[in-house]
Amino acid sequence: MEVGFDSFLLVDGGITAVVQGLRVADWMRGCGVAGILQRFCFKTLRSDHPNVIRVRLTMVQNPPATMLNTYQIIHSKAVISAEQLEEAVKILESRVSATCDHCIPPVFLQYSEVHNLFPGCLKEEDLLPGGFLMQSWLPITTNKANLDLMQRWKVQWLCSYPFDALGEVTRSSKLQGSSDVNNGIRKTKQSASKDDLIAFTTPASSKGFLGFLSLGSPMFPVPLGEGKHRLDIDLFGTDLSFAKIHILYQLKEAVKKLPTGGSIVCFVYIEERLHAGLNDFVKGITPFKICRQQLVLEMDLTAITIS
């Protein structure tokens, strides 16, 4: 009989363990099983992976005070969700075109370009509070080993380059076409040059722009109804207009891959200051509420005693 399980993933080149899957059967909760599993997990890390110096995890609610004796909250993001978004693309397109005609269109990146983002065209201090590249519920850094891991998972990277970085960008990506976003973006897919990108924006509104990044996780079926698929979109940056554009682009890319008759439940992970604005953006679209907050906690594994 199974009463529970725990799992972890080694990231940051093997020095951090992200605890992912602590679960206890309903009938065994409150019996100390979770504590036993956690201690076994930590002992395994120390014995089998001695290079691990920290443990990181995510939660959907504030941790109990006793937990903060060993963990510290190092980051938090807001979460919004909605379902059947493929039916609402036209609504979102109209809302984007009405407010975002000044924005540089984003580009989907090849992985050869991803490795040059940090440090490079984007600055961690501008887009990644605490230095974390949150991918769904996985709190990781921009360590090369982590980027390679995300490549194997086929995560979709979408980038809006800062105005002052456009001159450094080698255009090997394709621009997604686009009456999608606004009338100023060309309607056919094409390779974009630096001059093309600069022409889409106005210097007055762009020179202070620090860039924007989003990650689209590959969809997977979920038991929430016939044909339901889950899509996670992680946003990095605080510009509301670019956040809307990135959601739309990631969603349209996902809809292309949706099986016939399928539908999408979408979770968007954002900086908390964008929460109100993006809630208005998806207003009127069927909500699917599971959680509203994502907390990241970290513990120094070398500083605790495991009995």
Could you tell me where the beta strands, DSSP code E, fall in 130-195?
Answer: 133-135, 138-140, 156-160, 174-175, 190-191
Q: Decide: 81 and 268 in contact? Cβ < 8 Å.
A: yes
How far is the C-alpha of 269 from the C-alpha of 263, rounded, in Å? 20
Mind listing the pLDDT tens digit for each residue in 127-171?
998 788 888 889 999 999 999 999 999 999 999 988 666 655 544
Q: Which of 165-169, 174-178, 223-227, 234-238 has the lowest mean pLDDT?
A: 174-178
- pLDDT tens per residue across span 170-194: 444 444 444 343 333 333 333 344 4
Q: Exposed, middle or buried: residue 132 (CB in 10 Å: 0-12, 13-18, 19+)?
A: buried
Domains assigned to the chain: 4-75+296-303 (3.40.630.30), 77-294 (no CATH)
For all residues of the chain together, what is the average pLDDT? 80
Sign, CA dihedral 221-224-226-232, equals negative
Residues 230/140/269/265 CA torsion (nearest 10 deg) = 0
Q: Taking a C-beta distance cutoff of 8 angstroms, is the pair 268, 80 a contact? A: yes
> Is 256 in contact with 171 (CB distance < 8 Å)?
no
